[in-house]
Structures are given as structure tokens and as C-alpha cells.
Amino acid sequence: MLISLPSASDCKESDVTPESFYFSRRALLGGSVAALTVSALPRWADAADPSPYADVEPGTAPDWFKAKLSDTKWQAVTVKGEAITPFKDATHYNNFYEFGTDKGDPAKSSGSLKTEPWTVVIDGEVGKPGRYALEDFMKPYQLEERIYRLRCVEAWSMVIPWMGFPLSALLKQVEPTSNAKYIRFETLQDPKSMPGQRSDFALIDWPYAEGLRLDEAMNPLAILAVGMYGRELPNQNGAPLRLVVPWKYGFKSAKSIVRISLMSEQPKTTWQTIAASEYGFYANVNPTVDHPRWTQAHERRLPSGLFSPNIRQTEMFNGYGEEVASLYAGMDLRKNY
Ligand SMILES: Nc1nc2c(c(=O)[nH]1)N[C@H]1C(S)=C(S)[C@@H](COP(=O)(O)O)O[C@H]1N2
Ligand SMILES: [Mo]
């Protein structure tokens, strides 16, 4: 089976292959992994008026979440002049391979995910390791609303109002040792509730894992999110706890986190393990470094249709350069993609 790969400069938006390319390709190849060489929001925290966003499906928030609502810092960070993606799109066009590889699969299948009770483990190079029930884990933190662009490596994007707290606040609590240089995030592994983990041709070596350098994790833009659109996270968006790192491609933002580990060495991450030549550890949004199979110069902003594709230029660091460029001073971002 020959698959011809156009050079990045020939790529049109319509050529972009989703990350699920690997799944279908592996099926074609009869399961041989070795053959994969290709490389203005009012203050609304009023329970009577639960959300300022249109058409938000109400959830069933746990009590600890409801208790934090009235003390939430709304619009702590916003995106000027770009519309917030409708709730419907943000919750029905998802990547969450634990529930299947089609964009609609997570919304359809993630009802089986049980998010209460939920336990988070903190371990590795920390002075204060621990194992917490989520409501205890969340106790020290005030929620902030962070309206961020989300840019997927597949060249589509959204603007999502997350609710969470800075990852740096967690790091202060757990006291990384002097050996801690990286942080690793691990998603739940539970084939009973996650059909994608049962499928025969799942190429991912579960659980899904991601990581950051410690100084990246300390950047004030990096958050752990527990909500979006004024409510708790829907399952398909990574309930009950996920990472959001807005200057990096979406795959860095691991969902449904059960374990956070401080490490002395750079952790192996899921997409890097699948195809290191295409998905790097850094994965900073960069319009000047193309994916081997498509351009990263522009993106499709959802909602996007045949007659209004809504294409826009991709910005360096997804528009967050002022805040994060200094993290990469002196680094060759072509090599460290
Ligand atoms: N555990 C896990 N986390 C994940 C993924 C996944 O498949 N599994 N997909 C990633 C990708 S590729 C993207 S673009 C974002 C999508 O987040 P959203 O569905 O909330 O928009 O989640 C990321 N986090
Ligand atoms: Mo993605």
C-alpha cells in the first residue's frame, strides 16, 4: 500500500489528515507498528442565572464546584475581538481517543466516564507527594475564567472559556525537589468506561501521557481546568480535571488527569511516541514550522463550513508570544518542534 505524501507547501486545508490517520493506516498495514515510518461578560455568578453563554447544556456540578462559583474571578484572561466558539461546537467536535477517533465519538460515548469519586495522585520529585480526592485537591484554589484560543495540530481552532487555576499554584503546594525538571500528566486508564482503550487497532500505548518542562508549567498561562462556559467540564472535554496550555498544540492538554508526576528526565509523551518526526515534545504553535504533511500557516476557526470556512492566519505561540517567547530564547524551534 503506497501512500503519497505531498510536501507541506502543496497542502491545502482539505488535505489535512487528522491524527486518526495512524489508526486507519495501521489497520491498512495489518497492524504492523514497525511499518509506521512516515513520518463582555456580566458578573453572573448568580445561581439563578447559571451561564452567560448561549445554549449551554446545564450539567450536574459536584458540590465543591458549585461552592467555588460565587468566588470565581471571571474573565481573568480574555481574547480581544474574537468570538467565543459556540458551546455546541466545543462539545461535539472533540479529540479524546479514549472514546474513539471520530470527532463526534467523545460526545456520544463519554457518558460512561465516572467522574465522581475521582482521585488525583501527586508523586515523583516532590516534597509533598499525595493522593487526593478531587474535592480536597481543589480546596486551596480559587477558580479563574480563562478565555483562550485552542489550536489543534490538525489546523483547526476554537476560542474556549475555561475555568481553572494556575498550574504554578499547584506546584507551590507540592514543593518540587531540586531534581524536578519536568512535569508529567497521565489520563485515566479504564477500558470498561473508555471504549477506545478496548479497540483492537488502538495504536496508543495507554494511558495517554503528556508533559511540560518545569518552567513552562510555571508560566501563568498554564492552567488545570475543571470547567468551561461557566459550568463543570463535560466528560468529552476531559472531566473532571484537564490541562490547558494555550500556546501549544491541543494534544499537549491532557484530559481526565489522574496522576501528576514531577520528573528529573523528560517524560515520554503519547504523540511523540507514536510519531516523533511529526509531533514533538514542545509542540509550540508555530506557523513557520509546517507539519510534514500539511502547512501550519493557517487554521480553520470553528464553526467552519463549506461556504464559510473561516480560515485565519495562525499566530506564533498561538498569539501568546509576549507571555511565553522568553521560555524558548536561544532554542532552535525547527529542531525543538
Ligand atoms: N487523554 C486525552 N487527552 C487529550 C486528547 C486525547 O485523545 N486523550 N486529545 C488532545 C487533542 S489532539 C486536542 S486538540 C484536545 C482537544 O480538547 P477539546 O476536545 O476539549 O477541544 O485534547 C487533547 N487532550
Ligand atoms: Mo489536537
Average pLDDT over residues 247-265: 98
248: pLDDT confidence band, cut at 50, 70 and 90? very high
Q: Which atom of ligand 1 has the smallest separation from the CA of 228?
A: 20
Query: In the structure, which protein residues have their CB atom closer than 6 angstroms to any atom of ligand 1?
Result: 19, 94-98, 150, 152, 187, 208, 237-238, 250-251, 253-256
Q: Report the percentage of the chain scoring pLDDT > 90.
A: 82
pLDDT at 24 over 80: no
pLDDT at 45 over 60: no
333 assigned to some structural domain: no
3 assigned to some structural domain: no
Residue 52: per-residue pLDDT: 79
User: pTM for this structure?
Assistant: 0.89
How far away, in angstroms, is 151 Cα from ligand 2 center?
7
The ligand placed nearest to the CA atom of residue 158 is 1
Neighbours of 7 (CB within 10 A): 10
98: pLDDT confidence band, cut at 50, 70 and 90? very high
pLDDT at 3 over 60: no
Q: Which atom of ligand 1 has the smallest separation from the CA of 188?
A: 1
Q: Which atom of ligand 1 has the smallest separation from the CA of 90?
A: 21
8 assigned to some structural domain: no
Q: Which grid coordinates belong to 129?
A: 507527594
Average pLDDT over residues 62-89: 96
Minimal-distance CA residue to ligand 1 atom 10: 251
Structural domain containing residue 67:
13-328
Write the DSSP string, 92-109: HS---GGG-SSTTHHHHH
Average pLDDT over residues 142-153: 98
How far away, in angstroms, is 271 Cα from ligand 2 center?
10
Buried residues in 307-333 as b, exposed as e (16+ CB within 10 A): eeeeeeebbbbbbbeeebeebbeeeeb
How far away, in angstroms, is 52 Cα from ligand 2 center?
27
Pocket perturbation via mutation, ligand 1, pick of 233, 255, 258 by most ligand atoms within 8 A of CB: 255
Residue 199: per-residue pLDDT: 80
Distance CA 84, CA 91 (A): 13
47 assigned to some structural domain: yes
7 assigned to some structural domain: no
How far away, in angstroms, is 46 Cα from ligand 1 center?
31
Residue 169: per-residue pLDDT: 98
How far away, in angstroms, is 178 Cα from ligand 1 center?
31
How far away, in angstroms, is 217 Cα from ligand 2 center?
19
Distance CA 85, CA 53 (A): 10
Q: Report the percentage of the chain scoring pLDDT > 70.
A: 84
Minimal-distance CA residue to ligand 1 atom 21: 94
Across the chain, what does the average pLDDT equal? 89
2 assigned to some structural domain: no
* CATH number of residue 67's parent domain: 3.90.420.10
pLDDT at 38 over 50: no
Q: Which atom of ligand 1 has the smallest separation from the CA of 196?
A: 7
Residue 13: per-residue pLDDT: 45
How far away, in angstroms, is 198 Cα from ligand 1 center?
18
Task: Using DSSP, state whether 145 is helix, strand or coil.
Answer: strand
- How many domains is the chain partitioned into structurally? 1
* Residue 157, CA distances (Å) to 5, 59, 99, 207, 325 in order: 24, 24, 21, 25, 21
Minimal-distance CA residue to ligand 1 atom 5: 96
